[in-house]
Chain A
C-alpha cells in the first residue's frame, strides 16, 4: 500500500517484513498524522492531578482545546477541570510573557488555593525565550507552594517528549513529603482513572493487603505524588508515558518497577499475581482467591458477549503501545482476530512485542493517518475499530463498528467488571441493526404502466418542473 512516499517503512504485514518497522521519528508534513504535540503529551499525563492548578503559558487556543479533555474522574477536588491560560496576546509576544506569567501565578494561587501549580510552555514560549524555570522558581518562593515548570513547547519533538516533560515535573514534586505506609505499598504509574477505571481496581489491591500510595495520575492529589517515593514497588501500566518516571524512581529511590495492565481478565489477574509474588507471605494465595472469585463472577456475562462477537475482526489504533498490547490479549479472550494494530508513539521494542503477539497477515502500522487507516480497514475487512474520537467517525462512515478506548470514553474498562463493559460495548456496536439498514432505498419505478392519474396530480408534476 502506498499513499505517501516516505511512509512505506512504517507499515508492515506480519510474515512478510524483512526490516524492522520504522518508528520513533517525526511525523510527515502533509500526511495528517493522528499525533498531537509535546504540550499535548505533557497535558494528558499531568491533567488528572485533581488539586493542582494547570496553567498554560501561551495563546488561548492551547488551553481552549484541552479544557477538561480527559475523562479522568475525581473523588474530591475538581480544580483540574478548569482551564487556566496566560492568554498571550500580540504585545506579550513582542515584549515577552514572563511578567504576565508571574503576575498570573500570584493572582491565581491567591484566588484558587491550589496544592501546586503546573506551568506548561507552548510553542510560542520556546520561540520568544521566556525563562519558565526562573519564573516558576521565583513564584514558588513567593507563593509558598510548588510551582513546577513543564517544558513542553509543542514543536520540540512528538508526544513522547511531552510524556518526559510531565515525568520530570512529577519527579520534581516527589520526595518532598515524608510518609510511613501501614501496609506493603505500591504506586500505580500510567493509571489515569478514565471513566473511573481505578475505582473498581483499587479495592482488589486493598483486599490483598496492598496500599496504593499514589496513582499517576488518575484521581491523584499533589500530596500523594510528593510522598510516592515511600512505596516499595511501582506498577507501570501505560508504559509509553511512565517508564521514564519508573526508571528515574528506581535510580533515585531504589524502587523496582513491573509492567502490568488492568485491562482484560488475563492481564488483570497477572497484575494481582505479580504484585502478590513481590510481597510474598500469604498474599499469593489471597490473590488466587480473588482472581477465582472475580473470574467466576464475570464469566457468564463475558461468555454471552463472546458468543456474539467471536470470529469478528478487530483493528486497533492507539496512542500508546501498552494499551494496544493489552487489547490484543483482550480480543483473544473474546475470540476475535486482530487484523490491524497501530500506535502513534510506539518504539522498536513495542513493535517487536506486538509482532510476536499477532498472527501472520496482521498489519502493523506506526503513526497512521486517515487515508492509510481507511485503506487498511477496507483491505483487512475489519468489523470493528478500537481507537479515539478522531478515528470514530472515519470508521462510522465506512460502516465499521467502533469502540472508544481513549481519553473521553465514559465507560470504565479496567478490572474484571471493566472487561464485561468492554465486551458489551464491542458486542452492541458490532451487532447493531444500524449496519444492516439499506443504504439505498429500493426504487419503485418500474416498467409496468403506472396508474392513470387524474388531472390534479399531473398539474402538480407540471408545477414542479416549471
Chain B
C-alpha cells in the first residue's frame, strides 16, 4: 500500500551517510558525526555489513546536557580524542539532525578549537552541514565532496593534470577500474574521493588506526591547478565540487553520467580523447568490442524483459541506459532521492515508463503489481519485495548486506557493463530454472 504521510520500507538513507563515503576516500581522514552516539554506530554497522571491512566513525556523543546547552564542549572533546586516538591527517565533521536543530555553529566551534588546542596543529578539519531531515545520502555525499574541495583546493602552479571527481557512490573495485583506465591511457590525474583501498583493504595481519589509501591532502589542494575537471556521475546532480573549481579557479568542468552501458562509456572515452588529444588505449577498444559481443549474445533472452530499476540516481540512469540499449523494457525507474533532473532524464531515456523520485518500496510495490515486472535491479533493500513478487533481484549499489562481494561490485566501463549484461541474463535464467523445477 502506498502512503502519503509515512515512508514504508525506505529506498534511501540520510545525509551524514553520504559524507562518510567522501571522508573515507581522503587519505588519513577520520569521519566524526556531531550528534548522538547512535548515528555513528548505526552507520558504522550499515557500512561494515556492506563492505565487510571495519568502518570507524567517531561521534561527539551528544547527551541531554549538550542538547540543551549546546554541543560545543562535546564536539571539542571529540575532536581532541580523535586526534589523540587516531592521529589523523584530517577530520571530516558531518552534522546530524540533532546538532542542526539545537543550532550549533560548527565552523565557529572548529575555529575556537583550532585557536586554543595545541593538538589541532597540522590536522585539517573539514566540516559539512548534513541535517538528516534535509535530504538523502546522495546529497550528503555531494555536499561533503564540495566541502572537501572548498576547504582545501588552493591555487599554486599549473600541474597539467586532469581532475577526476567521483560524483556519486561507486564501489572500491570501480574506483580501481577508473584508475587503471587513466593509468593505461597514460594521463596525469587527481581522483577524489578514492575509496579503492580504504574500504577494500588487503589482509595484512595488522589493522592501522585509519586504513591506508585515499586521496592525499596535497592532491586535493592541487585540484585548483589542473587543466580540466571531469565529474563522473554528475549527470543529474546539482553543480557541486566541479562547478566550484570552475568558478573559483576557472577550470573547465564537464559533468558526465556514470559510464554504464555503451553510449555513456563512449561519452567518457570521447571526453578524455577530446581533452587530451590522446587516443583511448587499444585494449579498451577491444573491451568495447567484447561488450558488444556480450550484448549480441544475450539480446534475445533480454528482449522486452520488463524491469524495475531503483537506487541512487546516477546508477539508476546508467542501468536504465544499458537496458534500453539491449532492447529491455525498464517499466519502473525509481530513486529515494528528490531530484527533478533525474525524473526528466529518466523519462527521456524510456518514454512511457513510470519514473519515481522520493520513492519508498511500498510505492514501488504498487507499481510492480500492475506491470508484470520480470527483473529487479537495485540495492538489497528490494529483496522483500522481490521475494513477495517472485521476481529475481540483481543486487547493485549500496546497501548490499546479504551477499558477498559488494566492495568488488564492478558495473562501470565496457567491462563492468559486460558483467551487468551477463548478470541480468543469468538472473533470468536461474529464475526460469527454478520455475521449471517447481512447476
Contacts and interface: CB of A to CB of B under 8 A. Distances in A.
Interface of A: 3-5, 26-40, 55, 58-68, 81-90, 92-93, 100, 103-104, 107-108, 111-112, 123-124, 126-128, 154-158, 369-371, 374, 389-390, 392-394, 396-399, 439
B184 to A, nearest CB: 13
Given A30-B32, A107-B4, A155-B66, A3 B85 contact: yes
A304 B58 CA distance: 43
Contacts, number: 227
B206 A27 contact: no
Contact of A107 (B5, B80, B82, B206): B5
17 contacts: A30-B78, A32-B56, A33-B37, A36-B41, A67-B9, A67-B381, A89-B134, A92-B133, A107-B5, A108-B6, A124-B133, A126-B67, A154-B36, A158-B37, A371-B85, A390-B41, A390-B45
Contact of B101 (A61, A63, A89, A128): A128
Nearest to B132: A59
B421 interface: no
B203 interface: yes
A92 B85 CA distance: 38
Contacts of B14: 59-61, 64
Interface string B41-67: 111111011001110111111111011
Nearest to A124: B97
A127 B1 CA distance: 31
Given A29-B77, A390-B54, A397-B206, 12 more contacts: A28-B77, A30-B58, A37-B39, A37-B41, A39-B38, A40-B38, A60-B136, A81-B384, A82-B384, A154-B36, A155-B36, A397-B201
Given A103-B5, A371-B85, A65 B45 contact: yes
A36 B48 contact: no
Interface string B330-344: 000000100000000
Contacts of B67: 123, 126-127, 155
A31 B80 CA distance: 10
Interface in B1-54: 1, 3-10, 12-17, 32, 35-46, 48-49, 52-54
B84 interface: yes
From A32, A86, A108, residue with most partner B Cβ within 10 Å: A32
A311 to B, nearest CB: 22
A67 B13 CA distance: 11
Contact of B45 (A4, A37, A389): A389
Interface string B283-323: 00000000000000000000000000000000000000000
B346 interface: no
B79 interface: yes
B81 interface: yes
Interface of B: 1, 3-10, 12-17, 32, 35-46, 48-49, 52-54, 56-64, 66-67, 74-75, 77-82, 84-86, 96-98, 101-102, 131-134, 136, 201, 203-207, 209, 336, 360, 381, 384
Give me the 4 closest cross-chain CB pairs, A-B, nearest first.
A37-B38, A61-B14, A30-B81, A30-B78
Contacts of B4: 103, 107
B34 to A, nearest CB: 9
A58 B63 CA distance: 18
B41 A35 contact: yes
A123 B3 contact: no
A114 to B, nearest CB: 12
Contact of A389 (B3, B17, B49, B80): B49
Contacts of B58: 29-32
B133 A93 contact: yes
B331 to A, nearest CB: 24
A100 B61 contact: no
From A123, A158, A369, residue with most partner B Cβ within 10 Å: A123
Contact of A30 (B63, B85, B207, B381): B85
B6 A104 contact: yes
A54 to B, nearest CB: 11
A37 B35 CA distance: 11
A394 B206 CA distance: 9
Given A40-B41, A85-B10, A103-B5, A371 B133 contact: no
Contacts of B15: 61
Contact of A36 (B37, B78, B204, B381): B37
B81 A85 contact: no
Contacts of A103: 4-5
A40 B336 CA distance: 23
Contact of B42 (A60, A66, A112): A66
Nearest to B35: A123
B54 A397 contact: yes
Nearest to A158: B37
From B10, B17, B67, B78, residue with most partner A Cβ within 10 Å: B10
Contacts of A3: 84-85
Contact of B98 (A84, A154, A390): A154
